Amino acid sequence: MAETFELATFAGGCFWCMVSPFDEQPGIKEVVSGYTGGHTENPTYEEVCSDTTGHFEAVQISFDPSVFPYKKLLQLFWQQIDPTDPGGQFGDRGHSYKTAIFYHNEEQRKLAEASKLELEESGRFQKPIVTEILPAAPFYKAEEKHQHYYKKNPFHYNAYKEGSGRAQFIRQNWKKQKTDEELKQELTPIQYEVTRKNATEPPFQNEYWDNTEEGIYVDVISGEPLFSSTDQYDAGCGWPSFTKPIRRPELEEKLDTSFGMRRIEVRSKTSDAHLGHVFDDGPGPDRARYCINSAALRFVPKDKLQEEGYGEYINLFKE
């Protein structure tokens, strides 16, 4: 069956920060940064930022609704923004940085309205939800230097996301951070030592080092999908090893100089859990070997993906 792609368009403030959350998700073909909703044709970045064009900074997403439904895109969109801010987003002020959902058909409009109402009634925010829901308008692709900025300039992108206040807002309002006491109750001793104390479990004496079943591995704390068995291989090291993660934006890599060594530590962005390390001696084209502690992972078998809410990842295992 041929893939059928639809369009979704979201304005969430600076478009640099609105690409990574959607990029590399299953069923996403492309994420483009651009301008929409205004009254001028082919505007430049400088013109849009001057607030004279009526345009919003936005991203347009080509997606397969059978794999990643529009309702799930909406949920992901809300989790990137402050929907109560009428004057922009975080450090960026002005019309071009306001939030909006641009619907492409009546079904998208209904889903967007229902999603907004659900957020309003949830009581998550004390202030009114001011994100607009508007009909889709001509979309103009932004200059090439702005496309996938988080990949081209990762240091500046991460510094900007933190400095603008967006990253902190997301952590405080959208990511439930569990206390150490809560985690001690929920996790086994080895899971706690690995994820919170940066410990390393014994090789060849851990749950998944020789797993051959099909499925995905999720963050043992947050449940975020991290790795797939389709990318797992036996590296002979005694820990589960992978050539790549399911989505690189879910991982954070840091220099680790502990024990007199220089290594690249891998952590989960959603839970800040220590996962393991990444080395450059793997079999794939970019030579990456993600050497991960089993204790930081929970395995979800292929036949349980739909049941446990990971149905969009079933396509990873289709022949």
Residue 17 among the catalytic residues: no
Comparing CA positions, the residue from 264, 245, 244 lying closest to residue 254 is 264
Give every CB contact of residue 96 below 8 A, 6+ residues apart in sequence.
35, 48, 49, 51, 53, 55, 56, 57
Domain count, the chain: 2
191 and 218 assigned to the same domain: yes
Pick the catalytic residue: 14, 17, 49, 237? 14
Residue 14 among the catalytic residues: yes
164 and 136 assigned to the same domain: yes
Q: What is the pTM of this model?
A: 0.74
167 and 184 assigned to the same domain: no
231 and 156 assigned to the same domain: no
Q: What is the domain range of residue 198?
A: 180-317
Pick the catalytic residue: 17, 49, 237, 291? 291
C-alpha pair distances (Å), 307 with each of 194, 226, 313: 28, 18, 12
Determine the residue type at 81.
Answer: I
Of the three residues 130, 147, 173, the one that is the final residue of a domain is: 173
Question: pLDDT by residue for the chain (319 residues), tens digit each?
Answer: 456 899 999 999 999 999 999 998 889 999 999 999 999 999 999 999 999 999 999 999 999 999 999 999 999 999 999 999 999 999 999 999 999 999 999 999 999 999 999 999 998 999 999 999 999 999 999 999 999 999 898 888 988 988 899 988 988 888 767 788 899 999 999 999 999 999 999 999 999 999 999 999 999 999 999 999 999 999 999 999 999 999 887 888 888 888 788 889 999 988 889 999 999 999 988 899 999 999 999 999 999 998 998 888 998 997 6
Answer yes or no: is 185 within a domain. Answer: yes
- Asked whether the beta carbons of 35 and 79 are under 8 A apart, the reply is no
Tokens of 147: 């496309």
Answer yes or no: is 1 within a domain. Answer: no
From the CB of residue 290, how many other CB atoms can be counted at a distance below 10 Å?
A: 25
11 and 149 assigned to the same domain: yes
Instruction: Identify the CATH number of the domain in which residue 155 sits.
Output: 3.30.1060.10
